[in-house]
């Protein structure tokens, strides 16, 4: 049994509901959930055969930058995973109406697998670890995610994700002729993030082509998910790629996907974070949430070889200026920021 007094237990993997690929489904539940209070949600949890996730909502009313940073960094330092942060800009009226919190409030939501620990004890443990501030409210509730793990399959269709790359699931292989030079990549993300169709992934795949065209490029993919970026990099010309991910399901799926796509001998995947890697790489890619990118900025920059590139994605347009600033300190230079929908990718070069 986990220790209810230790909020780090929230790092338990509960890997579906917070991935952007499944976000539409997950957010639909948010919309449903938002019309109930937390007690209602607990009372309506089905008792049999249901897949239940524990949600820990930390809401800061009238949140200012200092409190925002303090909470975010405390949660990062606690090693909390499966964390979503939402503020006025990321709140979506499409899926969260009625609005679940007051204007100016920031909400962090943590998903974890339920344990025998009482919800009150979990809330108390977070309360003890976080700043003592009257604006903070912590609510622990349960969410029925039965069927979510596979619901995304209905929406995963073959898609052209860049000029040259077409991805498709194993159960829907395109039959028509491909354009000259096109690369067809089969991806089954399983439990991992990365069908290739999300804007954050598309931005990376589009950037890959010119970056790896020389055919001499070695690529490090931090937060590899299904392996889509490492596989696409090699198929587009990179010599080799190493992917790392803290989620063991992801590295397992990535290995399998690399084999299926005929690049298993040039792609390696390891479970863990960037600390597991050493040396430098001509191209380092990381498509991860901005607060995680910031927390590993020193290591990400250190892994880029002189003259090499750093490609960051997973960044909402409103957050791009901060990421550009954090990462473009010498010897790095900001090359450009690309946008697709609400998302951006930031490309930097390390001066030789």
Least Å distance, CB 233 to ligand SAM, is 11
Q: Which is nearer to ligand SAM, 117 or 245 (CB)?
A: 245
Is 4 a binding residue for ligand SAM by CB under 6 A? The answer is no
Is 192 a binding residue for ligand SAM by CB under 6 A? The answer is yes
Is 288 a binding residue for ligand SAM by CB under 6 A? The answer is yes
Give the binding range for ligand SAM (CB under 6 A) out of 29-37, 225-233, 327-335, 341-349.
225-233
Identify the sign of the CA torsion 150, 153, 155, 159. positive
Q: Which is nearer to ligand SAM, 59 or 261 (CB)?
A: 261
Is the distance from CB of 303 to CB of 284 less than 8 angstroms?
Answer: yes
Least Å distance, CB 219 to ligand SAM, is 12
Among 7, 225, 290, 308, binds ligand SAM (CB under 6 A): 225
- Contacts (CB under 6 A) with ligand SAM, residues 19-48: 20
| Residue in 279, 291, 209 with CA at minimum distance from that of residue 242 | 279
What lies within 8 Å, CB to CB, of 190 at 6+ separation is: 226, 249, 252, 253, 256
Give the binding range for ligand SAM (CB under 6 A) out of 42-50, 150-158, 160-168, 221-229.
221-229
# of chain residues touching ligand SAM (CB under 6 A): 23
Least Å distance, CB 8 to ligand SAM, is 14
Among 67, 106, 250, 258, binds ligand SAM (CB under 6 A): 250
Among 91, 126, 152, 193, binds ligand SAM (CB under 6 A): 193
Q: Which is nearer to ligand SAM, 192 or 220 (CB)?
A: 192
Among 9, 247, 253, 319, binds ligand SAM (CB under 6 A): 247
Q: Which is nearer to ligand SAM, 140 or 244 (CB)?
A: 244
Interface contacts to ligand SAM, rule CB under 6 A: 20, 192-194, 200-201, 204, 222-225, 228-229, 244-247, 250, 273, 287-288, 292, 314
């Amino acid at each position: 049994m986990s220790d209810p007094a230790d909020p780090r237990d929230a790092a338990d993997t509960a890997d579906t509901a917070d991935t952007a690929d499944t976000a539409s489904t997950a957010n639909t539940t948010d919309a449903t959930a938002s019309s109930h209070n937390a007690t209602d949600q607990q009372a309506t949890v089905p008792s049999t055969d249901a897949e239940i996730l524990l949600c820990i909502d930390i809401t800061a009313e009238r949140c200012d930058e200092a409190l925002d940073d303090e909470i975010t960094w405390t949660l990062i330092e606690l090693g909390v995973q499966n964390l979503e942060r939402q503020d006025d800009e990321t709140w979506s009226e499409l899926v969260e109406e009625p609005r679940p919190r007051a204007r100016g409030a920031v909400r962090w939501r943590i998903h974890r697998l339920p344990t025998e620990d009482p919800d009150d004890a979990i809330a108390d443990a977070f309360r003890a670890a976080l700043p003592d501030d009257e604006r903070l409210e912590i609510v622990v509730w349960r969410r029925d995610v039965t069927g979510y793990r596979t619901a995304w399959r209905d929406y995963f269709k073959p898609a052209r994700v860049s000029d040259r790359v077409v991805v498709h699931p194993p159960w829907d292989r395109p039959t028509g002729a491909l354009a000259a030079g096109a690369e067809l990549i089969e991806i089954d993300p399983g439990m991992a993030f990365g069908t290739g169709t999300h804007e954050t992934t598309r931005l990376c795949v589009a950037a890959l082509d010119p970056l790896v065209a020389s055919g001499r490029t070695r690529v490090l993919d931090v937060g590899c998910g299904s392996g889509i970026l490492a596989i696409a990099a090699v198929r587009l010309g990179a010599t080799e790629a190493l992917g790392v991910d803290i989620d063991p399901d992801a590295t397992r799926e990535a290995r399998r996907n690399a084999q299926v796509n005929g690049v298993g001998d040039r792609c390696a995947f390891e479970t863990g974070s960037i600390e597991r890697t050493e040396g430098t790489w001509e191209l380092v890619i990381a498509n991860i949430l901005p607060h995680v990118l910031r927390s590993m900025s020193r290591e990400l920059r250190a892994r880029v070889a002189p003259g090499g590139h750093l490609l960051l994605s997973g960044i909402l347009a409103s957050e791009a200026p901060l990421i550009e600033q954090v990462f473009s300190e010498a010897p790095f230079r900001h090359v450009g920021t690309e946008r697709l929908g609400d998302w951006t990718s930031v490309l930097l070069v390390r001066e030789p």
